[in-house]
Structures are given as structure tokens and as C-alpha cells.
Amino acid sequence: MPSPAPSSAPLPAGQDRAEITSRKVVGLPERLDPADDSLSAWTQRYLDLAVRGVRSAEVTAKISRHLERFGAWISGGLGHDRLSAVTVREVAAWRDHLDAAGNSGRDGTAAPMAAATVNNHLAHLSALFSWITAHAPAGLLRHGDPTKQVPPLPLPAPQPRALAAAQVRTVKNIVDRIEVFHELKGRRHRGTAARSHAHARPLRDRVIVYLLFGTGLRRAEVVGLDLDQLESADPDRLRQTKKARLTGVRGKGRTSRTVFLGRDARQALADYLQSERPGDAAASAVAGTAAVALFLSAASIAARRPDGRLSPRSINTIVGEIGRLHDAQVPEADRKLGTLRPHDARHTFAFALSQASGHNRAELERRLGHANDRYLRLYTNPPEDIAASYIEDL
């Protein structure tokens, strides 16, 4: 049954659509049949009336994907998708299925899904059934909300992921020499002036790594930055000033904060803005699209977005490559990083900030854009070598 169009009735004066939907009081279009017993139909109504236009496009896509997985689980297991047939047993079985085989491995075989991701699926399903409960006719959910009696999976104790001081030093050493690793090598390039691969942007990658380690920005926050958020965007002034900053950095939960830039990030930004970004920005202009993003992908990449903005996944690639270069250069096993992730840089920054600020909670909240006690406590946990030194002589 096709999903009907959302209601177009005007909102009461002074009320915001996001506020109304969050309270689950949006009325259903009058032409809907309230007795319709279809999980897929109710899911589409929920997405149309309470998610699309209220949540970001990225979050909306994730919620839709999670609910689609539950719908497939019900239809595949029961042979139909009647909403009234969804019980606590079915929800619990779906949770356990995701926990055991919710992912696909590289070879296509089933693989476990992380407990936090499973719980995220359950949270989105619970929001759906809370909305349905508020709007469904009496008797449709005869046994009540089936998600309320299904507990989330226990989460493992969060582990500190901050790099040790020696590791940070060698990472920065690699980043300082990053142009060397991008140079074309081989017999036909010997005796010629050093030249980088066409897609390589070593100056951009350098500033991104320094920004992650020096500000604690999340990867989505990095790719979401626009040039006009940088004060100042003039390379010469960046090299001289000590108060350069990024304003209006958009974080989770529609938060916004100001981020100050350290010496390494300022110098690297100045080099990037002066030498690399202008060429990639000009390519966007030729294509008829303004390059407003601070960090741009190489103009030579065929699959480049029209505006040149990087994707969050590209930050993983950049940071992961730095980690691989680091481990190839470092012989000591206890200094190797394994897989380096953007969030490792965030943890490293947060621990250093906690130490420098005397564990000032307000400063951690302000600079990290995170007020959750669980994570703020995690950020103050030291790397293992520092933790071990605390008790060495006790």
C-alpha cells in the first residue's frame, strides 16, 4: 500500500515543526485508514511526519535503514508484516540476530554487529513504536509497545584511546614529511624534479591531521567546515596571529561552538590555503559550483562532488594512511599504532586538554562539544604507559 502524503495543514502560530514532532503530537491525514495493520505503512507515515524535514538527511537515512532492516526481519520470518503481530519475542530475536550476524564480512559471510550499533537500531525502533502508540487506534497494539520490555545489550567498558606522547611525536614527524611519501618514484622519475601523484594533496592532509590532534574535532565536523568560518582566512595573517579560530562549528545535537587553532594547525592551514586549495577551488568554479568548503578533494578525481567537499569517509582514509606510514617507519612494537582512526586523535586532544586545564569539566564540555559524563570521564583516562607509571613506585 503506498504511503499517503504528509499532512499540509498549517502549523499553529509560534510553533516549530521540529518541536511538535518531537512531542509526537502530529496528527495523521484524515484520509488514512486508522485500522490499517501494516508495519511498512506505519513506518512510512512515521518517517514522513516525524523524521523527514526534522532530522538531518544523514540521520534520516540511518533511521530509514534501521527500520527497513526490522521490516525485512518481520516479513521474512512471519511471511507478512502485520503490525499487530510484532511482539516482545520478535523484537528480542531481532536484537539477538543483529548481535550475532547483523554485519557482513569482507567475504560476504555473516559477522557480529557492535553492541552500540545494535542498541542504536533498538533506539530507532523504540521511537517508531512510541510514535505509533500515540497515533494508533485502540486495539491495534493490543499487547502494548513491544520494544519497552527488550533491554539493550550491555556495552563493554569504554577504553581510553589516547596516543602516548612518544606516538604523537612520531605521528607529527611523519606529517611534517608527508610530501616525501606522495612523490612519484620509479625509474622514469629519477633525475627529474620531485612531483606528487595527481590526486595527492599532502598539504591538505597535513592540516587535517593537525586539526584533529589540535582541536578534537569529529570527522563530520571537519568536512562540514566552510572557508568563511575561519578567522582569518588570509595565509599571512594565519602565520602571524595567535588567535585564529573556527566559528560556528556544528556538532552533535545541533550544537555550535568556537574552536581555537594551535600553532601547528595555523601554519599548516596557511600553507594549504596558499598553495593547494586555490587550484581545486578554481576547478569547482569552472564547473559552475562555488567551493565554499574549507577542505576540498582533488580536482583530478572523477568522482569528486560538484562542490568539492570531502566526505567523512575520506577523513578515515587520510588518517589511516598516516597510521600506516607511521608504523612502516617505526621499528619498536610498543610504538606502533595499528589502525589509526580520527577518533583516536580526538581522545588524544581531550586527554591533553584535561591535563592542561586541571581536569576542568567546563573547558572539556566547551572545547569538545560533549556534555555526557560517561565520555568526559573517558577522555580523562590516561594512555596505558602513563597509567602504569602512576603505580610503579606505590
CA distances to 109, 110, 341, 393 from 106, in Å: 7, 9, 19, 47
With both helix axes pointing from N to C terminus, report the angle between 39-46 and 115-135 in degrees, rounded to the nearest 10. 90
Torsion of CA 184, 186, 187, 189, to 10 degrees: 0
Distance of alpha carbon 215 from alpha carbon 222, whole angstroms: 10
Could you identify the residue written with the cell 595499528?
338
State the distance between the two ends of the chain, measured CA to CA, in whole angstroms: 70
Grid cell of 72 as nine digits: 525485512
Query: In degrees rounded to 5, what are phi and psi of residue 184?
Result: -70, 135
Residue 140 CA neighbour count, 13 Å, CB half: 18
Grid cell of 354 as nine digits: 584535561
- Give the residue numbers marked as catalytic: 218, 252, 343, 346, 370, 379
Could you identify the residue written with the cell 564540555?
365
Which residues are CB-neighbours of 319 under 8 A, at least 6 positions away?
A: 208, 209, 212, 340, 341, 342, 344, 345
Which residues are CB-neighbours of 72 under 8 A, at least 6 positions away?
A: none
Amino acid at 156: P
